[in-house]
Amino acid sequence: MAGRPAVGVLALQGDVREHAALLAGLGADVVLVRRPEELAAVSGLVIPGGESSVIDKLSRTFGMQEPIRAAISAGLPAYGTCAGLILLADEVLDGIDGQQSFGGMDIAVRRNAFGRQTESFEMSLEVPVLGEPPVHATFIRAPIVERVGPDVEVLATLPDGGIVAVQHGSLLGTSFHPEVDGETRFHEMFLERVRDRSGR
């Protein structure tokens, strides 16, 4: 249907349902992506939070790693939250042995950057590109961006300067989980890119 872009949520592991529900509420036709043919049918892909090393391994087991890499390289809009941000990074600084990413964002990300003892925290986060009100951000064993390339736009930082939201071309990533707080504006940004690319 016109105006309803087909958007995939990578459904190998993680908080898939929360993203799917939020995207459907914003008017997207949501496809749960587990196979290459499902990926080929969508105009954008959300990579959810979860465990980045598990999603990495499952993506290889299901034959999804190379199709996702190729789609991102070809310009498919993608949005990664938490583990999804790690998987979009070109460099993972403290991955487990043999861990790989899909890449595409010229960034280096550190997993579990806040220490395993700090399982989660919440804060009000200023995101200038989104305007007011501030974003209620929930961090759960969150990563942090430690390096950004020259074409990467930093969207949000912590008070200490730690980078927690970035965009690079058609790719968007956040260390936190807007989908668990009913915060829709990042997903709206992502859907704008999807519509721009698909002409809908």
Catalytic residue among 18, 177, 183, 187: 177
pLDDT at 175: 96
Catalytic residue among 82, 168, 183, 187: 82
Catalytic residue among 18, 168, 179, 183: 179
CA distance 161 to 103: 24
As given in the structure block, the two tokens for residue 163 are: 């980078």
pLDDT at 117: 46
Ordered per-residue pLDDT tens for the chain, 200 residues:
456 889 999 999 999 999 999 999 999 999 999 999 999 999 999 999 999 999 999 999 999 999 999 999 999 999 999 999 999 999 999 888 889 999 999 999 998 777 654 568 899 999 999 999 999 999 988 999 999 999 999 999 999 999 999 999 999 999 999 999 999 999 999 999 999 887 65
**Which of these, 179, 129, 185, 125, lies nearest to 153 by C-alpha position?**
129
Count of Cβ atoms closer than 10 Å to residue 156 Cβ? 22
Tell me, what DSSP letter sits at residue 20? H
As given in the structure block, the two tokens for residue 124 are: 């009000």
Residue 55 and residue 47 in contact, taking contact as beta carbons nearer than 8 Å: yes
Active-site residue 19, yes or no? no
| H helix runs in 1-123, sequence order | 16-25, 36-39, 52-61, 65-73, 83-88
pLDDT at 4: 85
Give the rounded distance of the alpha carbon of 109 from its chain centre: 13
Residue 176 and residue 142 in contact, taking contact as beta carbons nearer than 8 Å: yes
CA distance 38 to 2: 20
Active-site residue 179, yes or no? yes
